[in-house]
Structure formats: structure tokens, C-alpha cells
Amino acid sequence: MNIQSVLFAIAISVILISGRVSAQSPPAPAAVKNLVAMAGDQQVTLSWDNPNNTNITKYQYRQSTDSGKTWSPDWTNITASDENTTSHTVESLTNDTVYTFEIRAVNATGNGAAVSVSAKPTLPPLTVTWPEDIKGTEDSSLWTSLTSTPPQISVSGGRPSYTYEIAKDGAPNGLSIDSSGTITGTPTESGAFEVRVVVRDAASQSVSDTLDITISPPLNISSIAYKTVEKDSMITPIHLSASGGWSPYTYALSGAPMGISLSSDNIITGSPSQDGTFPITVTVTDDHGSTAERSFKMSVYSKELAEKFSPILILTEHPSIDDRIVLYPEPVEIMGAESVSNLWFSFSEEPNTSGEFQYPASGWNPDLLITYQSYFLTINFSENNFAYLPTKLIYTDSVLIFL
């Protein structure tokens, strides 16, 4: 073989080998497209389109503060990047400094073309949205009339985390703000308050405002006196009245004898059809759902019993510490006696005549109640807790006479 044949064979082999290498090694990646820099507080987030190139093995970036004259750091691998990476955040930057960034893709063949973008990290302003129309009830919770939920201070921007401070002057006792900006606590006083609140971020930025907070007195129902009423007769209407909390109010009645009900205009009325003493509870609910209760007792006596036995003592639970005025021969009640032994009370037979005695009196017959029951079968003395007193009391300067 002559020298020309050898050279020709070598040339053919190089071409074939070159062709195989070219087929096995992909070209270097193309430049990234639509590179965008989003500046934040001490950081910049770089993002770009996904090239859908499975040959990319990683991405690299570098940064400069002098428009690309020098780079620090120079080309640096983006941690854990691969062909699907489309963003990277560069941190620990200096705010208000213009940075130039370059991004390139890398594969087994080499580095793609670099693309540059500039951005200036900046501390965003602290923005606060304040709750309005804050209401509350003394010894209860706080809310806003718009949401019926605890008032919330909403914060954005600045540098987390945020702290909240309530100026002590002007704020109701018991008010507080938790770490999320929720105004909480249990106010222990009522009134209209102008409360100054300061919000601060980790960069010492602050925003303040004065919040108007109205705290109402506790919800309450006016007291209702013990009622002694006649069976099957219309009672004197009992008008319910609430205060405190937040109107409008809704009332509910429980424990009343049959025939007694609550009208739509919040009046207890009706004609009781049951004898006995009834513990009645009135519940009021305000516009925010707070509730309060007031209890009283209603003793219902039959006219037959009143006519046959005068006066009548209606017994309840515990001895009363208050003196009671007894006008004979009307049926009378002593709040709180569970038995008829050793019971003291005041009485008056004439307008300016008064005295007191201890019951039972001398000569009391413990079987007398059983005797009465045998004569008047329609009256359940035991069930209705009625006890008989002497028909008439005569009081002189020194002697109390039982007749």
C-alpha cells in the first residue's frame, strides 16, 4: 500500500469517529429565556422559563455590584439545581445596592450562554391594616361589628417578625394583643376608649394608630320580686328589662307554672293553673350571644285555701335574714324556709302596729295540717308547702296573743 492509500484510510477513520462523537455529545445549552429579577428585603429572586432540556445538569449564577466589571462570587453552582430548576433566591444582600446577576445552564458538553439582569434589594415599607368598630363587654370577649370575630391587626411588608405594643394610657384594663396581632383579653372596665397601638418589625420600622374601642357594662336583667299569686287568676304583668351588653335583647322563660308565658313584647303574663311554688328563670341573650339569667319564685295559692285558712305561710328553701311585713289576713310568704321551725318574721295588723314572733307558737299542734288535709281533699297541703298560722294575731305593747 502506498502512502496515499494510508493517508486516505486515516482520513476516513477520523471522519467516522468524529461523526460518532458528534452524535453522542449534545450541544451546550441555549441561553435561558425571560430572566426576571424580583427584589425583596436583602434578597433578589431570579426566575426564568423552563427550557424543557433534559440534557441540562445544573445552573450557575454570579453577581456584581459594579455593572459586571468584577464578579463576587464568580460562577457558583445553584444548589440542587437540574433541568427542571426555574428560580433561585440570592440572599444576604445589601439593601439599596444595585446588583447585576448572570445565569447560565450547564450540561456535559459545556456551559450555555449567560443572560444578565439587574435589581436593587430594598426593605419594603411596613403596612398595617387596622380593625374598625371594636366592641366588647366588661368581663367578656372582644369582637368587631363587621365580623363578630376577635379584632385582627393585619401586617405586611417590612421585615418579620412583628411586635405589638399597647399604650397603657387610655386602654381598658385586661386588654392585650397576641403575637399574631389579634386583640384579645377580658376588659375589666366599661366605657369608650381611645387606644394607641404601635406595630414594629425586625428592622425597627414602626406604624401606629389610635383604635376606638367601646366596652359595654356586663349584661344584666333587672331583679324580679317574689310573686304570690292566685290560681286561675290573671297575674299582674311582669315587664322584663335588661341592661349592658349589646341590644337588641332576646328573652326566654323556663320553670313557670302552666298558664304563665312570655309575650312577644317581653312581658310575663297569664293565669297560673297549678298550685305550688315555682322557681322561674329568665334568660336574656344580647346581640353578640352573651347571656345572663335572673331567677325568682312564684307561689300560686288556690282561692279555696286562702278563704279557709288565713293567713297562709308559703314555705320555700332557707331562712330569710330580711324582716318581712305581713298584712293579715292575706296569704304571705317567707323567702327561704324549708321547715316551719324557729322562723322569725315581722308582721303588721294595723298601719302603725308591728311586732315579731317566733314560729311555731306555743300550743302548735303538729297534726293540725293532717286534720286540714282530711277536711279539704282537693287541696294538697304537703305538695304545695303551705302551713297554717293562727287565724288572727293581736299585738299589744307587751303581749302577742294567738287566736
Neighbours of 333 (CB within 10 A): 22
Mean pLDDT of 122-126: 96
- β-strand 332-334 against 312-315: which pairing, if any? parallel
The confidence score (pLDDT) of residue 340 equals 38
Q: How confident is the model at residue 328 (pLDDT cuts 50, 70, 90)?
A: very low
ω into residue 125 within 30 of 0, thus cis? no
* Predicted TM-score of the model (pTM): 0.60
Q: How confident is the model at residue 374 (pLDDT cuts 50, 70, 90)?
A: low
For residue 35 the three cell numbers come to 430572566
Residues paired with 294 in a beta bridge: 282
Domains (ranges, CATH) in the chain?
36-119 (2.60.40.10), 127-216 (2.60.40.10), 220-301 (2.60.40.10), 302-403 (no CATH)
Residue 306 has pLDDT above 60, yes or no: no
Say which range, 137-151, 165-179, 329-343, has the weakest mean pLDDT.
329-343
The confidence score (pLDDT) of residue 231 equals 87
- β-strand 142-144 against 191-200: which pairing, if any? unpaired
Distance of CA 95 to the CA centre of its chain: 41
Sheet holding 76-77, edge to edge: 76-77, 56-64, 99-107, 115-119
Question: DSSP assignment, residue 182?
Answer: B
For 34-51, write each residue's pLDDT tens digit. 999 999 999 999 999 999
Residue 166 has pLDDT above 50, yes or no: yes
